[in-house]
Amino acid sequence: MSGILYDVLGDYSKQFIIRSASLIEFVFCVFLLTLPFQKKNGFGMKLGVLTPFALPLVFIMSVINTHYPQLFSGMTNILMYLFILAALYLLFRETLSELLLCLCGAVAIQVIVGRLYEILIITLDKNPYETLSLFKEMVPFRDWTLYYLIHFMLCSLLAFLFRRNRVYEHDKANKRLIITFSFVFILITMVLTSVSRYFEGENNILDFIIRIFAILYALLTLLLRTRILETSKLKQDLLIMDELLYAEKKQFESMRSEIEVINMKAHDLRQQLSTISYKLTEQELEALHAAVEVYDTTIKTGSDILDAILYKKQLYCEKNGIRMSCMADGRCLSFISSTHLYSLLSNAIENALEAVKTVCNDNKRTVSISIGKENGVIAIHVTNYFESEFTINNQLPQTLKQDKNRHGFGIKSMRHIAEQYNGTLSFHTEEDIFYLHIYFPNS
C-alpha cells in the first residue's frame, strides 16, 4: 500500500499517511463527542458529499508539512479543524459555541492519546518520528492495526470519562466564554506543537518532559471544558426550577381561590341540610354530613399555605384510599416566602403520595408529616412507604409521571429552596420506608 502511495504521491506519501491517520483519529474523537447532538435533515447524504473533500485536504497538509516540517507542523492542523467545524455546522443542529466545545474536546483527546503513544514508543527506546511499531521490525498490517486499536481504545476511554448525555443551552455570557476559550486553546495548541518540534529529538528526557507537559495541558483543557458544561447545566436547571416555581405560584393562587369557593358551598350545604334534616333518615343524614365534611376544611396549622396544601392533598387521599397524618406548627415557617413554601411543601407531600399510591398493602398506604421546632432547629419530616421496585439504586423512589425529562427537579428544587434559607435537605430509606428531612436554623 505504501509503495502505491509513493508511486502516486512521491515524497509526499509519508506525510499523507501520517495526516490521514491523524484525520481518522480526530474524526473518531469528534464522533464520540457528538453522540448527544441532534442531526440535521439529510445527515447521511451530506456526510457522503463531505467525505471526498477530506482527500485534497490531507494532500495539502502533506505538501506543507513535507516542505516545512517544523515551522508549519502544528499550523496545518488549522485546516483540519476548519474542515471539521464546517462539517459539524452542516450536519448538526447545535449552536456554534456547542460545536466549538466539541472541537476543543476532540483536539485535547487527540493530543493526550497521541502523546501517550509517543511516550510508549520512547520507553521502548525507539524514535516516534521514525516508526510507530512497538516491535523490532515494522509489519504494516500488524502495527497499523495495533496503532488504531490502542488509539481508539484510549479515545473511547477519555470520551467516556468526559462524556455527557444531554446538550444544554448556553446563555450569552457562556457563549462568549466558549468562543474565546476555544480560539485561545486552539491557537496555543498550534503554537506549542510547532515550537516543541524544535526541541524534540535531542534527548529522551527532554522528549518525555515535553510530552508530559502536553498531556497535562490537554487534560486541563478537558477539565475546563467540563466546568463550562456544568455551569451551563446548572444555569439551565435553575431556569427550569424558576419556571416550576412560577407555575406553582400560579397553581397555588388558583387553588386558594377554589378552596374558598368550595368552603362557601360546603357551608351553604350544611345550612341547607339543617333545614331538611327532618325529611331524611338518620343514616341518610350521616352519609350526607360525611360527604360534606370531605369538602369542608377545618385544618388550622398556623400557615394558610400549608392548610391549603393539606386540604388539596386530603381530597387526593380520600379518592385514592391513602391515610395522611399531620402534626404541624406552620407558624415556624413564616420566614419562608409564600412561593417557596408552597413549592417546598407541595413537592415533598406530592412525592410521598405518588410513592405510596403504588403500595398494595392497605395498612402501608400512609403518609406522615411532621413540622415544628426540634432540638433548636426547625424541622420538616415526611415519611411514607413505597414499593421497592420503584427505586433507583435502592435510595430514591422513581417517578411514575409522564414527563421524564423533568424528573429529579422536585428534589433539586426543594434542596435549592432550602439552601436559600441556610437549610439542608436529606433523605434515606429503611427497607420499604422513605424518610425526607429538611432542617432550617431557628433564627
In this structure, the dihedral spanned by the alpha carbons of residues 263, 267, 268 and 274, taken in order and rounded to 10 degrees, is: 160
* Contact (Cβ atoms closer than 8 angstroms) between residue 13 and residue 5: yes
Least confident of 271-280, 352-361, 431-440: 271-280
* pLDDT attached to residue 402: 45
Average pLDDT over residues 116-144: 85
Look at the block and give the residue holding cell 409521571. 401
Least confident of 5-9, 151-155, 324-328: 5-9
Q: Grid coordinates in use for 167?
A: 446538550
Cα 335 from Cα 392, distance rounded (Å): 34
Average pLDDT over residues 74-96: 88
Q: Over the chain, what is the mean pLDDT?
A: 80
Q: Which amino acid makes up residue 376?
A: G
More confident residue, 205 or 291: 205
More confident residue, 418 or 272: 418
More confident residue, 77 or 43: 43
pTM above 0.75, yes or no: no
Q: Which amino acid makes up residue 394?
A: N
CA angle 438, 439, 443 (to 5 degrees): 150
Cα 311 from Cα 259, distance rounded (Å): 8
Say yes or no to pLDDT of 71 above 70: no
Least confident of 22-36, 94-108, 170-184: 170-184
Cα 345 from Cα 336, distance rounded (Å): 11
More confident residue, 409 or 333: 333
- DSSP tag of 35: T
- Over its C-alpha atoms, the chain yields an Rg (Å, rounded) of 33
Q: Are strands 433-441 and 424-430 parallel, antiparallel or unpaired?
A: antiparallel
CA angle 298, 303, 309 (to 5 degrees): 70
Say yes or no to pLDDT of 156 above 90: yes
More confident residue, 287 or 340: 340
* Contact (Cβ atoms closer than 8 angstroms) between residue 404 and residue 414: no
Average pLDDT over residues 370-396: 78
Cα 286 from Cα 293, distance rounded (Å): 10
Cα 406 from Cα 410, distance rounded (Å): 8
Contacts of 385 (CB under 8 A, 6+ apart): 355, 356, 359, 361, 364, 365, 366, 432, 433, 434
Query: Domains of the chain: which residue ranges?
Result: 2-240, 301-441
* Contact (Cβ atoms closer than 8 angstroms) between residue 51 and residue 83: no
Average pLDDT over residues 55-70: 81
Q: What is the largest CA-CA distance in the chain?
A: 113
Average pLDDT over residues 143-161: 92
Least confident of 63-67, 214-218, 372-376: 63-67
* pLDDT attached to residue 32: 92
Length of the chain as a residue count = 443
Tens-digit pLDDT profile for residues 250-304: 666 666 665 565 566 666 666 666 666 656 666 666 666 555 555 555 567 888 7
More confident residue, 287 or 145: 145
More confident residue, 358 or 163: 358
Look at the block and give the residue holding cell 450536519. 91
Least confident of 60-69, 137-146, 199-208, 393-402: 393-402
* pLDDT attached to residue 69: 65
* Contact (Cβ atoms closer than 8 angstroms) between residue 178 and residue 97: yes
Sheet holding 377-385, edge to edge: 323-328, 366-374, 377-385, 433-441, 424-430
Q: 301-441, which class in CATH?
A: alpha beta
Least confident of 36-40, 243-247, 352-356, 421-425: 243-247
Average pLDDT over residues 150-156: 94
Q: Grid coordinates in use for 358?
A: 403504588
Say yes or no to pLDDT of 183 above 60: yes
Look at the block and give the residue holding cell 413564616. 334
Q: Grid coordinates in use for 306?
A: 400549608
